[in-house]
Every structure is written in C-alpha cells, then in structure tokens.
Structure 1
Amino acid sequence: MSRGSKTRASDAEDICAITRTLAVLSDRWSFLILRDVFLGVSKFGEFRTSLGIASDVLSARLATLVEFGVLEKVPYHEPGQRGRFAYQLTPAGQELKIVLGALQQWGDEHVPHSENPSVARLARGSRHPLRVTFVDDRGNPVEHDDAEFVPTASYPKDAVIDQRPRPASPMA
C-alpha cells in the first residue's frame, strides 16, 4: 500500500466529516468524474476521452469511488466485445449533486468565465433556475451569514477553536 493510500485510509476513519469526505473525493479528478457521471458519462473510455486523464489515474479514482459507495460497477457487453463495466451513481453518489452544484455556483459567481456558465442548474419539472443554499430542519432557507459551524461534544478536546463571539448578521 502506498503512503497516499495509507493516509487516505486513516483519513477515512477521522472524526471530522470533512476529512473523511476528502479521503473519498481526494482530488480534482474525483469531482470531474462525478460531474461527467451527472452529465451522462458512464464508461471508462468515455471518461478518459472527456477528461483527458491517464488510464491508471482514472482506474484508481474510479476504484476509490466504488470502494466508498459513491459509484457502482454495472456489467455491460457490446456485440463483438468482451464484457466491461459501466459506472453509475449509488444513492450516496446522488447526494453529491448538491456538493457539485455548490462548487459550480461558487465558481460561476467568484471565478466566472467570459462565455457564461457551461451548465445550468434547473428544476426538472419547471425548468426554473436553482440556487444551492442552507435550509433549516423545517425547510426554510437560511442566509450564509446566519449559518455557523458549531463544535459538538465529539469535537477533539485538544483542537484549537476560535471561541470569540461572532458578530450578528447585518440583516438581523
């Protein structure tokens, strides 16, 4: 096992959900593979062509996404060819749509391209544009300034946390 995979394995056991998630979605290729899956790409050769990624890197990223239950391998057979596998999202993988939507939204707003967004986030039925936002447990939108990350009892006692009071939201 390489040093990188040992680190990834230990990160997958970390108490921090962000560290554990990054053990699975470890680099840009993982996010770009997911983007392509959401756009309908499913076969190894299609990923390689779309992304211009080396076969060994693609194999490793797909294996990690399968190992952690983000993608599943589905056998298929084209006439005259040997059996192969396509990749499709699991329910856990489908939940990453909001993460990719948030990344895209941030990029569209803070690192815009001169030719406008290349993909639109639309509601399937109405075709209305979508925004990614925080929502409370009653379904009410919450402004970013009013959302906070609060350590729980599980947070490591020796971690350094800024305990200073946060200023109230200017809209409050």
Structure 2
Amino acid sequence: MPKSLGKDSTCSIARSLEVLGDRWTLLILREALIEGSTRFQEFREALGVAPNLLTQRLAFLIDEGLMTRRTYQEEGTRARDEYVLTETGRTLNLVIAALSDWGRTRRPRPDGTSPSYAVGDTGTPVRLAFVTDTGDTVDAEQLVAHRTNDRDF
C-alpha cells in the first residue's frame, strides 16, 4: 500500500497520505475512534467491506503502528484477535474530526450524521480551531501556509 506521492515525497502531507490515503483505512480508523470498534466483525458490519480487504487494511494499520493486535477469548469460543488503537492511532482523532467538520459544513446532507466531541470527564462540548500562542482563535480563511522544515517546529 505505501507509495511515494509526487515529486516532494518528503512533505508531511505526502508522508501522511502514504498511510492514510486509502478510504477504507480512514473508515476503519473512524469506527475505532468514534464507535470504539475493535473486533473484525464489528468493522465488517459497520463498513460492509470485503473480508480480504479488511484483513489487508488491519494488517497495514498494525505494520504502521496505528493499531495493535490482541488476543481475546469469550467463554465457550475460540481465541480471536481484536484490533486496538495505539497512542499514535488515537492521535488521529484530530484528523477524523477535521474531515468530519469539513464534510458537515462543505458537503452537507439532510440525512447526514457527524460525530460531536466533548471533554471526556465533564461532557463540555469542544470544536476544532486554529489558535495562536496567546490563545486567540483564528478563522481558517485568515490563514496563510508556508512550507517549513520539520526540524524547525
């Protein structure tokens, strides 16, 4: 699945897309992050993805360090694997939230659904924002992006 994207494959966006550029990968991550799915059958039922494709994508996510495989066994059944997000995988919550926000505002549907986010222990609703070092919120339309070396962050 990993492929070099474009002339500047050192770009952080290209490097991210080498891992996240497949729709099934992002949908698996969505199910894990939002629904808490960990079991093969949960992913299959939620996504309707072919078993061989799901197996490949889960193996890829494990290889890339976004998920880990753990064995579980319910009483009276054979041992099975579950797929649990790693810390690296959990940090993609921001990416999934940004995609959701964009889809909700730029591709609205009357029958659409979107996740909402809140602080876990208080339930206080939160939203995505660009924030300056002094804590001021900045609208996305005001931003200008510049290519910068990773080591300069």
TM-score by length of 2: 0.83
Contact 2:104 2:114 in 1 (8 A): no
Whole-Å separation in 2 of the counterparts to 1:58 and 1:48: 7
Q: Which of 103, 110, 113 matches 1:114?
A: 110
1:30 maps to which residue? 25
How many aligned positions are there?
Answer: 147
**5+ unaligned residues in a row in structure 1: which ranges?**
155-172
Residue 57 to residue 112, structure 1, CA distance change in 2 (3 Å): same
2:9 maps to which residue? 14
Letter in 1 for 2:26: F
Matched, 1:43 2:39: yes
RMSD: 2.2
Matched, 1:86 2:86: no
Contact 2:72 2:82 in 1 (8 A): yes
Whole-Å separation in 2 of the counterparts to 1:56 and 1:137: 46
For residues 10-41 of structure 1, the C-alpha deviation after alignment (integer angstroms, 9 at most, x for no partner) is: 45x93111111111112111111111111111
Identity of aligned residues (%): 36
1:55 maps to which residue? 51
What is the deviation of 1:124?
2.4
Structure 1 segments of 4 or more deviating over 6 A? none
Whole-Å separation in 2 of the counterparts to 1:153 and 1:49: 42
What is the deviation of 1:92?
0.9
Q: Which of 127, 132, 145 matches 1:131?
A: 127
Q: Which of 47, 61, 65 matches 2:61?
A: 65
What is the deviation of 1:55?
0.6
Higher-Rg structure is 1
Whole-Å separation in 2 of the counterparts to 1:134 and 1:104: 16
The within-5 A match list for 1:87-102 is 87-102=83-98
TM-score by length of 1: 0.75
For residues 31-76 of structure 1, the C-alpha deviation after alignment (integer angstroms, 9 at most, x for no partner) is: 1111111111100111111110001110111111111111111111
Letter in 2 for 1:96: L
